[in-house]
Amino acid sequence: MRLIIITAFCVLLISCAHSWQGETVQDLHAEYSNIFKYGNRNAASHLWSTFILNNSASMQPSQVELFFSGFCAVSGSPVRPNDYNRYLLTLPLVSGGDIKRTGAMHYCCWPCVCDTQDFIRVDTLTIPTIDGPRQYHFAVVGNPCENEEALHKPFHQPFYGGRDTTLAQEAREVRCVDGKLAGATMSDHGFVIISMFFDLPETDNNALTTTTTEGTQPGRVSDYNGVQVQHEREYAGWCVDRANNGYNSGMGEIFRKVAEISPIEIHQRLDL
């Protein structure tokens, strides 16, 4: 019995010694070269997510939430979270039907709102923390490796005068191994986790207040029951214009091409 206890204690010490001990978002960003082996984070936020989830057992829930606010789900860019880059969205749950959930995400730029509305959905996963298991809602996309050939299909990227390229060139960390996305963590219903979908305080429909009630105003920060957010509806017109101009801002077509390989289709309620 004594030997078993000593062995278990040694295993715990080894586990703690090898777990990441970051404390700030800047500490997470310092791990960039360890997370992205091919020097390109384009549309590869699943790797940020897996890095955090692999270390969540040694974190307080508040730390897990902090680190998930440190990158953009769409581009993979490092982000310094603040009130201005927190966006409020209402997205479908993958569990089916017409059920939607309102939450928040931190972005590097406003076009990510448009891409999120088109492709990102919400699912759950229970993860270990220092305080015990905790269920969270996560932003998810389909598995692009269900059609690996699509990563090598040429497409037109609208930047710098326009050019033809492939996802294999532009999103080097989107790599497939035996039909699975390398480095991805899957949600409860088997979708790729690319960020946390942050909870917002429960409220009624009148709790969102702004400085004006007339029209939309991109960049306007509103109060959502004590939390400062930019509401997705402010960008409705800009998203239409962006689509009409060939997605010539934000990530251009890169994230969209990855996400549209295997889009999440919600037709009816799935068994939970």
Q: pLDDT value at position 97? A: 78
Q: What pLDDT, in 10s, does the model give residues 203-251?
A: 655 455 544 445 899 999 999 999 999 999 999 999 999 999 999 888 8
Mean pLDDT of the chain: 89
CA atoms of 117 and 75, how far apart (whole Å): 14
From first CA to last CA, the distance across the chain in angstroms is: 41
The whole-angstrom separation of Cα 50 and Cα 28 is: 12
* Closest CA relative to residue 187, chosen from 123, 136, 129: 123
Tell me the average pLDDT across 107-119: 97
What pLDDT was estimated at residue 271? 53
Amino acid 207: pLDDT: 52
Per DSSP, what are the bridge partners of residue 177?
Answer: 180
Segment 165-189, tens digit of pLDDT: 999 999 999 999 999 999 999 999 9
- Confidence check: pLDDT of 24 > 50: yes
pLDDT over 80 at 161, yes or no: no
Amino acid type, 66: L
Q: Which residue has the higher pLDDT, 158 or 9?
A: 158
pTM: 0.88
DSSP codes joined into one string, 12-44: HHHHHHHS----SHHHHHTTHHHH-TTS--TT-
Q: Select the more confidently predicted residue: 30 or 9.
A: 30
**CA distances to 55, 62, 117, 123, 207 from 203, in Å:** 32, 22, 22, 21, 6
Instruction: List Cβ neighbours of 126 (8 Å cut-off, separation of 6 or more).
Output: 133, 134, 135, 136, 188
- What pLDDT score was predicted for residue 159? 75
